[in-house]
Amino acid sequence: MKIKPELLNNQLSKGLKSIYLVFGPEILLVEKSLQAIKDSAMGLGFGERVRYDVDGHSSWDEIIANISSPSLFTQKRIIDLRLATGKVGVRGSKAITELTASLPDDILLIVSAGKLDMTQQKSKWFKALDQNGIIIQHWEVQSEQLVGWIINHMNELGLKTDKDVANAIAYCTEGNLLATMQEIQKLKIAYPDGYIDTKEFLNQIDQQSHYSVFGLIDAALKGDAEKVNKIFTSLTDELTPPIIIISSLYREIKALTAMSVELQHNETIEAVLTKHRVWQKRKPLITNALKKHSYQGLQKILLTLGRIDRSLKGMDNLNVYDELQSVLITLSGKRNGLNS
């Protein structure tokens, strides 16, 4: 039976099932669900956990023998099967199918995997787990879903909903869920009663970002070429990997390009900014950039970033740092090789 990840805790509170499959491309979210299941099991006396990392070439004899033999140390055991891929092989498929049909009462079987395609989800072993246990599928958190995801996670930790704070975290962590969760956990430590001092937090974020990649991009959007050069020099002196600047810039310019298209379709600037969940404090910066740069100019910047990325990988011959600085200066509105 499939259930949504957000319903897992409710299901566990009603009683632990004997079989769980958790899978999806976001490993951090998969691990979060696995931990919830294990915590619930530990509370019910499952004192031993045996982990097996399996693939299509693994021998299942040891796994089956372990499950069939009583433990010398505890009556209740967790068998943790980690699938390296969704390809478990003929023997693996048969073993999983047989295990789900005749699992001992003192065994909790937890199976986990990364992304499984539709063929794998229609396999015999997957259907057996579906029929006899609980299946939790995690989806990749898209950029437009990130703020909502942050708000839900804040609520889970007892933090009061604050969209400005959620937007700031989303902007600063750029979709890195590990960094996102760490920021939320820091909030819980800083504000144990759940009430966040929004002004204090946003000021702290602002100060942290001044000489970061975020501060660099914001300086360019603001049109402050002098500050762009200053921050860029600071970051290169600190040996900041250029791929971090390239990827952050690419995401920013790609979003600006999408907004530019929507403005050409006569949508209002406020509607476009709201649709793209632009943090309130950044709205003047984004508005300024959209007025300054045409769709064609933004496209040229994207193409140049593509060449810079290829050069970094040895597939083109641009000077990475010089061209990257040139792009930032162009974004600030100064003519430096790219016309907007």
Give me the pLDDT at residue 207, please: 64
Q: Does domain 213-331 have CATH number 3.10.20.30?
A: no
Tell me whether strands 77-83 and 2-3 are parallel, antiparallel or unpaired: unpaired
Structure tokens at 27: 């490993």
Give residue 337's pLDDT. 46
Instruction: State the span(s) of the chain assigned CATH 1.10.8.60.
Output: 143-208
- CATH 3.40.50.300 residue ranges of the chain are 2-137
Class (C level, CATH) for 2-137 = alpha beta
The boundaries of every CATH 1.20.272.10 domain in the chain are 213-331
pLDDT tens across the length of the chain (340 residues): 999 998 999 999 999 999 999 999 888 899 999 999 999 999 999 988 889 988 878 888 888 887 877 665 667 889 999 998 888 888 899 999 988 988 888 899 999 999 999 999 999 999 999 999 999 999 988 777 888 889 988 998 899 988 888 988 887 776 678 778 888 988 999 899 999 988 888 877 766 655 688 888 989 999 999 999 999 998 888 888 898 899 889 989 999 999 999 999 888 999 898 888 787 778 899 999 999 999 999 999 999 999 999 999 999 999 999 999 999 999 998 765 454 4
What pLDDT score was predicted for residue 179?
A: 78
How far apart CA 326 and CA 324 sit, in angstroms, is: 5
pLDDT score at 82: 93
pLDDT at 340: 46
For residue 21, what are the CA distances in angstroms to 81, 92, 93, 96, 281?
9, 15, 14, 11, 42
Alpha-carbon span 206 to 214, nearest angstrom: 9
What confidence score (pLDDT) does residue 74 get?
60
Torsion of CA 84, 90, 91, 92, to 10 degrees: 30
Return the axis-axis angle of helices 143-156 and 163-173, rounded to nearest 10°: 120
Structure tokens at 266: 């006569």
Residue 176: helix, strand or coil by DSSP?
coil
| 253 vs 225: CA distance, rounded Å | 17
Question: How confident is the model at residue 167, as a pLDDT?
Answer: 86
Which top CATH class is 143-208?
mainly alpha
